[in-house]
Structure 1
Amino acid sequence: MECGNIVIRKIVNSDIASVQHFLLGQLQDLFSQDGQNAITDDVWGLAKLYIEPVRNQMWAAFSPEGTVIGTIAICEYNDRIAVLKGRYPGKTTAEIGRCYIEKALRRQGIGSRLLKEVEAFGYEKEYEIIYLHTHRFLPGGFHFWEKQGFGIVVEEQGDAQIVHMEKSVASK
């Protein structure tokens, strides 16, 4: 599939079922360990979290046939992560999440195109920092974000291999 034939756009209510299906498949594939139900709350509330709030958004990449092949989301960071408590002042930091690309289509520029949408949106909404966390065990995840200019803030030890990263968008 040519990257140029892929359509990237903000999701709307009529996309929710297909985006949920895609996300649940990605989560099952990448996080197939026990106890992962807790990480799907936002998947079931896509409209409430990513469509309705004006400072949050989700994009999807669609194949020429209309199948979801990638996603990315941005939302206002809510100081929920213990190791980062107090680091980010209210309203100035956004969090990237749900960035997944269909396995067979990774490393073809789709993730970079999705990230450009997020960065433009973040700049437009006057966020100063974009935060994300990834896991070292995810295929290509950490290296992708590093290549996109994100720097490590905190790296947690343990089985989850969580790496917290950030990038400035204020100077875009």
Structure 2
Amino acid sequence: MSTQDIIIRKIVKEDIYVVQNFLQGQLQDLFSQEGQLAIMDDIWGLEKLYIEPDRNQMWAAFASDDRVIGTIATCEYNDRIQVLKKRYSHHITAEIGRCYIEKTLRRQGIGSRLLKEVEAFCCEKEYETIYLHTHRFLPGGFHFWEKQGFRIVVEEQGDAQIVHMEKSVASK
């Protein structure tokens, strides 16, 4: 498959089922079974979280056969993470989540293309900072974000190997 044939666009209601299936498969591949239930709520509520709100959005990369091969989402940060309490203002901080690329297509620029969509959206919505967290054990995750200009703000110890990162939104 040529990466030039890949179409990246905002998801719409009609995409929800295929996007949910893609995300569920990614979580099963990357995370332990026990931890999945705690991190699935947003997947079942894609429309309410990423389609309806004006300042939130999800994009998907589609192959020429309409298969979802990558996703990324952003929403207003909600100050839910204890180690970051009061660090960010929700109105000017966007959070990236659900950035996954089909295993066989990683390292071909799809994630970078998805991130460009997020950055343009964040500029348009007047966010000042983009926050995300990743895990060191995810294949390529931390290094990808580092290459994209994100910097570590907090690194948590423990089995989850959570790394909290941020990047300023460049004005256009």
Length-normalised TM-score, structure 2:
0.98
> Which residue of 2 is the match for residue 23 of structure 1?
23
> Which residue of 1 is the match for residue 62 of structure 2?
62
- Residue 36 of structure 1 deviates from its aligned partner by 2.0
Please show how residues 1-172 of structure 1 align to structure 2 within 5 Å.
1-172=1-172
The CA distance in 1 between the partners of 2:159 and 2:101, in whole Å, is 23
- Residue 34 of structure 1 deviates from its aligned partner by 1.4
**8 Å contact from structure 1 (residues 76, 95) kept in 2:** yes
What's the CA shift string for 1:74-106, capped at 9, x where partnerless? 000000000000000230000000000000000
CA root-mean-square deviation: 0.8
Aligned residues: 172
The CA distance in 2 between the partners of 1:80 and 1:11, in whole Å, is 25
The CA distance in 1 between the partners of 2:65 and 2:135, in whole Å, is 31
Length-normalised TM-score, structure 1:
0.98
- Residue 171 of structure 1 deviates from its aligned partner by 3.6
What's the CA shift string for 1:27-60, capped at 9, x where partnerless? 0000024132010000000000000000000000
SS of corresponding position for 1:91:
helix
Provide structure 2 residue ranges, at least 5 long, that are not aligned to the other structure: none
- Residue 170 of structure 1 deviates from its aligned partner by 4.2
What's the CA shift string for 1:106-151, capped at 9, x where partnerless? 0000000000000000000000000000000000000000000000
Identity percentage of aligned residues = 80
Provide structure 1 residue ranges, at least 5 long, that are not aligned to the other structure: none
The CA distance in 1 between the partners of 2:71 and 2:110, in whole Å, is 9
SS of corresponding position for 2:166:
strand
AA in 1 matched with 2:53: P
The CA distance in 2 between the partners of 1:52 and 1:170, in whole Å, is 25
The CA distance in 2 between the partners of 1:47 and 1:73, in whole Å, is 12
The ranges of structure 1 where at least 4 consecutive aligned residues each deviate by more than 6 angstroms after the TM superposition are: none
The CA distance in 2 between the partners of 1:35 and 1:26, in whole Å, is 13
